[in-house]
Amino acid sequence: MSKIIFMGTPDFSTSILEMLIETHDVIAVVTQPDRPVGRKRILTPPPVKKVAVAHDLLVLQPEKLAHSEELETLLNMECDLIVTAAFGQLLPKELLTHPKYGAVNVHASLLPKYRGGAPIHQAIIDGEKETGVTIMYMVQQLDAGNIISQRAIPIEDEDNVGTMHDKLSALGTTLLQETLPSILNGTNSSVPQEASKVSFASNIQREDEWIDWQQEARQIFNHIRGLSPWPVASTSLEGKTMKLYTAELVPNVSGEPGKILQTTKKAIVVGTGSDDSIALTEIQLAGKKRMPTANFLSGYQDELVGKELG
């Protein structure tokens, strides 16, 4: 049975690790350190660590892998392959070349498009009709290695980051399981990425969360679902932040960008920079819980129509 070192951190990586545990000898799991979470800042282990601990696997959690004691531990292990999936750190050169068959990464995009830390978010925000998973060899440059295998799936209007995350995690697990045998017997082929088609999906910043109501309705719709359910798109109402979880396109209803045009039983309809508008159907006000817009409207006493979102 092949000896594998696995490196990953978030929920996206857990099903991949579980598959490797069932089918191979996972000799070590490397993940990010435990981090404070929530308002009470409770120190919480990464999802990958929880899976590894449940299976009594060796867990290493370096703040930075390069020049660490954990790196020395890994270099002293006999290993056939390193598999990474959303680990969150670049690997030192000496580690990339240490395993018999090198190191491979499971990346949630159709490389060379969307290299970087937020490929699922960016594909939806950009209005892509499909995305997918790529298995590629790791090099010192971010997500730039040769492609071993790749598979696409559609992005539907009903999808958001949450649904696509789950679909791509499952797809990555399946594709890796299908691809591993040829990697581990040295018969697989790989192709370089086309440099002219490279694009990047950097981690989402706070300023990226704010809606620009001057954009077309379709762009705003994609922006909202491309940030839902995390980190969530934002706007403001009467100077207070409003987070936007779900929305619908309202064709052929136009008005001043950012102005509330009407309310229905379940939505707040807002003008955009195009001839269509956006119906906000699930929101969260500052200091409140996430709720259907219908619940908010039932308890809101003031007239909303004519007010502006910023």
Distance CA 203, CA 118 (A): 5
Q: Do 18 and 167 fall within a single domain? A: yes
Q: What angle do CA 300, 269, 220 make, to 5 degrees?
A: 125
Q: Do 249 and 122 fall within a single domain? A: no
Provide DSSP, 101-149. Answer: T-EEEEESS-TTTTBSS-HHHHHHHTT-SEEEEEEEE--SSTT-SPEEE
Q: Do 248 and 127 fall within a single domain? A: no
Does the pLDDT at position 39 exceed 90?
no
Relative orientation angle of helices 47-54 and 14-23, to the nearest 10 degrees: 20
What mean pLDDT is predicted for residues 245-252? 98
Does the pLDDT at position 232 exceed 80?
yes
112 annotated binding-site participant: yes
Q: Do 10 and 116 fall within a single domain? A: yes
Q: Which helix (H) or strand (E) holds 15?
A: helix 14-23
Q: Return the pLDDT at 110.
A: 99
Q: Return the pLDDT at 299.
A: 83
Q: Which helix (H) or strand (E) holds 85?
A: strand 81-85
Confidence of residue 278 (pLDDT cuts 50, 70, 90): very high
Does the pLDDT at position 301 exceed 90?
no
The domain that holds 224 is classified in CATH as 3.10.25.10
Q: Do 112 and 222 fall within a single domain? A: no
Q: Do 192 and 51 fall within a single domain? A: yes
Q: Do 42 and 167 fall within a single domain? A: yes
Confidence of residue 227 (pLDDT cuts 50, 70, 90): very high
Q: Which two three-digit tokens encode residue 206?
A: 């706070």
Distance CA 272, CA 125 (A): 16
109 annotated binding-site participant: yes
| Chain length of the chain | 310
What mean pLDDT is predicted for residues 275-280? 99
95 annotated binding-site participant: no
User: Which of 163, 197, 231 is the last residue before a domain boundary?
Assistant: 197
pLDDT, one tens digit per residue, over 108-164 is 999 999 999 999 999 999 999 999 999 999 999 999 999 999 999 999 999 999 999
Q: Which two three-digit tokens encode residue 112?
A: 């060379």
Confidence of residue 215 (pLDDT cuts 50, 70, 90): very high
Which residue, chain included where needed, has tokens 């240490």?
A: 98
Q: Is residue 289 part of a domain?
A: yes
Q: Is the peptide bond before 231 cis (omega within 30 degrees of 0)?
A: yes
Q: Do 156 and 192 fall within a single domain? A: yes
Q: Do 74 and 184 fall within a single domain? A: yes
Distance of CA 249 to the CA centre of its chain: 24
* Collapsed DSSP state (helix, strand, coil) of residue 37: strand
Q: Do 181 and 220 fall within a single domain? A: no
What is the percentage of the chain residues whose pLDDT exceeds 70?
Answer: 100
Q: Do 279 and 130 fall within a single domain? A: no
Q: Return the pLDDT at 300.
A: 81
Per-residue buried b or exposed e for 249-286, using 16+ beta carbons within 10 Å of the residue's own CB = bbeebbbebbbbbbbeeebbbbbbbbebbbbbbbbbbe
Does the pLDDT at position 68 exceed 80?
yes
User: Which of 145, 174, 197 is the last residue before a domain boundary?
Assistant: 197
Distance CA 286, CA 288 (A): 5
User: Which of 151, 166, 197 is the last residue before a domain boundary?
Assistant: 197
Q: Is residue 239 part of a domain?
A: yes
Domain range for 72? 3-197
Cβ contact 121:201 at 8 Å: yes
Q: Is residue 305 part of a domain?
A: no
Confidence of residue 7 (pLDDT cuts 50, 70, 90): very high
Q: Do 184 and 69 fall within a single domain? A: yes
pLDDT, one tens digit per residue, over 187-198 is 999 999 999 999
pTM of the model: 0.96
Question: Looking at the 3D structure of the chain, how many domains does it have?
Answer: 2
